[in-house]
Chain A
């Protein structure tokens, strides 16, 4: 074999190069300076069919191979790295998952316009707490029967807000890590789907990057991509392929800088000859060319493996990692060859130097690429050590088991109505009440003010609500101690008064740990706060996300403002016990020493994974303490 591209490949390269030189190159300086998206050029790429290079013709693609796609990204990036990544993100990230995991209907609806270049695609995985580790995904998609309700947000999304079609990852089953993530096709323009500001980036400034914001976005059931829980698998498979695109982008940027440097080295004369013939510069150029060839062969090889459906995860990671690492070196050397001239704005090497940096960061940092490569070499790491710590544990909310029902449907009035009804259903009688100055520890009900209440005059709202709810008035610690809106003996918390009555309405209280500990025995906790992420919402039975100025008067009205009858002596409503985790299987005790085999823990020293039931232990397993065989164990 010749390790050489085909004639067809080189014809495509010439076509894309021609396009990039003619249509993109004149714009690059302005695009970079103005942070501007090359809308016209992208539209033209679509018309040329270049937005669907590696996809079959039946779906509107060009039906070419992966190397062809890599060449196209490389050639665009050779002129402008930003334009290169537009193509890469569209093809590898926005389009591929629909091609690979979509149903016929999804392909018909979304894949064809994407391949034809009528629509632009993007991919939404990264979140503030989920970057390299997708297990931290917090965007949720709740099954509502006919549709999923999508809430949360994504950051650093390439092609947003220009793209029309987004593959978005969200948690459908909480608390089980990456297995609970699913993929969805989301369209721009749907109600509740908005974008944050376009980021002001260091490089690739012609590529658009923005935040995705989902607020109760209804995603039709048929837009679930793959099965529920397949999201992580889809994301990882997509990124395997995406790395080829980013590697090509890095290669193209470096190639462009290299060519600039060669030209300049031939032109610039010092000490009587072009600097390229000074050995220092010639060696630099040699090294740059060698690195470029290495990177190119790595990329084309990975692309070829993908084309032939061979496992290529490690090879694409190597290509991405190497090509982007050397892109930094090559652009750096190119700028060095230019000397002070290269340091000026308007010089292409200056822009390329900045553009290159992102390639070691996105679509898996190069550190993550090395993790991927190492995992192919070494396999899974050994299990974590330690006794009780080996059990998967989720910290329980401070206030124990809570219903956590948030009323989000309808307008504020409807939300408040729903809350009032829920409370009445729980057995609260709002025709009776206790004096507002009842000591907190004795109060059956408390309406409590937090800093979110704002100005002191808003305490009127608290008092009015307390009157309507038949409750005493309480507060958070700062409201009593710093703001002095109420006497010190009215603040609720671990260090203050503990509320153990039946109903606690927290208004504008975010829910500091100390405060939550003081209300953990409350039978029902209601939270009203404008910040949906306040900890109080994870510790409440009922909640309304909204402004206290609006919600409190509505709630007072809903509970009834008529004079209250004196309340009978309090009957404490039972709080549910924290559920104990069910054992996964019986424990067994050794008759040789009394050692107890706990299936939740397994037996680390014998490499028995936590969660292994006793009956599933290998026949030759023996007691780790005294070496008695398995048949010497009895059920505990």
Chain B
């Protein structure tokens, strides 16, 4: 059965929801599923903007056939070549052999690499700033390299103010009938997944997001709709989400608060982490989130790291090194360019306590602009009462550092 929704006059959502995929990019758990958004414009010519994952191809074809209602498909605009959007290109070419492909040089190169048979079709190679008219609607192409692939572009319909934003402004989660962000409680139900999506997938490329935001800044008053490739379409309160993107891509914390991540083998380090969290709350700082590094997916830890201003890393020593799951989290933070955070360290080691020094070295030498507090709680096996002073000193140091910041 077709499943489409009208975005605005002449424009239809023809994408699909996916509840079956367990790991997005075969890496990130998506318990709330994901959508693959494709859009169809009915002008004097008919235009499809991006396709969907291969698993959703049948739904796309059904939807497109319904909306086209017997008309031919004239153009296929490809903004992003990642297969969760591009895998169905070849099928579209087979079903509508007269379609003309519109994309850029790098994207066509990638299409050939992926084995899509584009060269037996008409193609139009566009450059940054080029415009193209489908009749009533004129679009302009804006390149957005490394958000998060090099070929990425966004397409802006100057007639109705629709921005086809590719992966930018996307999120995990299925729409399940809703289409617009104002049809859901985004801040309550979607923001965490949106942050997890952006920080894990595009986190490394903050400077390039900033570049895109700068380009968009010039036409901000003309943008009426943001149509991303995943998640809901934005037509109200656009600045709410744009500002989130601005904060994330500048690696600024979203909230003044403390993320406590602990690595504990038998609960002793966990106990210290809990005691620390309780003392923080006791002293009035209740915006505290606490996670077990072993049982929390690292993508969630990354997302939370982008959210909070302060970080407490509590880790046991393992094989004279950092506990592997904690080490993996640190490596991911580095890979995703996490920076500008204040970190407190709690270390544990029953015979040779190394994790604190190693974590500090990693934070200061491998990462950018990380401040590690001098105060540190070191424990041998478990935190005894004699260490209470150290714990209090660390709590005070964290709170002091929070007050220093604006």
Contact = CB atoms under 8 A, between A and B. Distances in A.
B145 A441 contact: no
B150 A442 contact: no
A622 to B, nearest CB: 14
Contact of B207 (A575, A580, A589): A589
Interface stretch (B47-55, B234-242, B385-393): B385-393
B389 A591 contact: no
Contacts of B390: 441, 498, 500
A634 B205 CA distance: 11
A593 interface: yes
Contact of A388 (B150, B365, B369): B365
A441 B374 contact: no
Given A575-B374, A577-B374, A580-B364, A592 B145 contact: yes
Interface in A48-66: none
B389 A441 contact: yes
Among B206, B374, B378, B386, max chain A CB count under 10 A is at: B374
A594 B393 contact: no
Nearest to B375: A521
Contacts of B393: 500, 521, 572
Contacts of B58: none
Contacts of A535: none
Nearest to B396: A572
B184 interface: no
A280 B393 CA distance: 86
Main secondary structure of the interface of A (DSSP, over half): loop
Nearest to A400: B374
Q: What 3 pairs across the A-B complex have the smallest Cβ distances?
A: A591-B145, A636-B207, A575-B374
A559 B20 CA distance: 75
Interface centre among A388, A520, A578, A594 (most CB of B within 10 A): A594
A131 interface: no
Contacts of B211: 634
Contacts of B222: none
Interface of A: 388, 400, 439, 441-442, 494, 498, 500, 520-521, 572, 575, 577-578, 580, 589-594, 626, 632, 634-636
Q: Is chain B's binding surface mostly helix, strand, loop or mixed?
A: helix
B150 A593 contact: yes
Contact of A634 (B208, B378, B386, B389): B208
Given A521-B374, A572-B393, 17 more contacts: A388-B365, A400-B374, A441-B386, A494-B378, A498-B378, A577-B371, A577-B374, A578-B374, A580-B364, A580-B369, A590-B146, A591-B145, A592-B146, A594-B146, A594-B204, A594-B208, A636-B207
Nearest to B144: A591
Contacts of B224: none
B94 to A, nearest CB: 31
Interface residues of B, number: 25
B207 A634 contact: yes
16 contacts: A441-B387, A494-B378, A521-B375, A521-B376, A577-B371, A577-B374, A578-B374, A589-B146, A589-B207, A589-B208, A591-B146, A591-B150, A593-B146, A593-B150, A632-B145, A634-B208
A394 to B, nearest CB: 13
Given A521-B374, A521-B375, A572-B393, A591 B208 contact: yes
Contacts of A575: 374
A95 to B, nearest CB: 49
B176 interface: no
Contacts of A636: 206-207
A589 B365 contact: no
Contacts of A635: 207
B366 interface: yes
Most buried by A among B353, B375, B389: B389
Interface in B328-387: 353, 364-366, 369, 371, 374-376, 378, 386-387
Contacts of B374: 400, 520-521, 575, 577-578
B364 A500 contact: no
B400 to A, nearest CB: 8
Interface in B137-164: 145-146, 150
Interface in B1-25: none
Contacts of B145: 591-592, 632
Contacts of A626: 150
A236 to B, nearest CB: 34
Contacts of B353: 494
Contacts of B364: 578, 580
Nearest to B365: A388
Nearest to A388: B365
Contacts of B208: 589, 591, 594, 634
Given A441-B386, A441-B389, A500 B207 contact: no
B296 to A, nearest CB: 27
Contacts of B150: 591-593, 626
A9 to B, nearest CB: 62
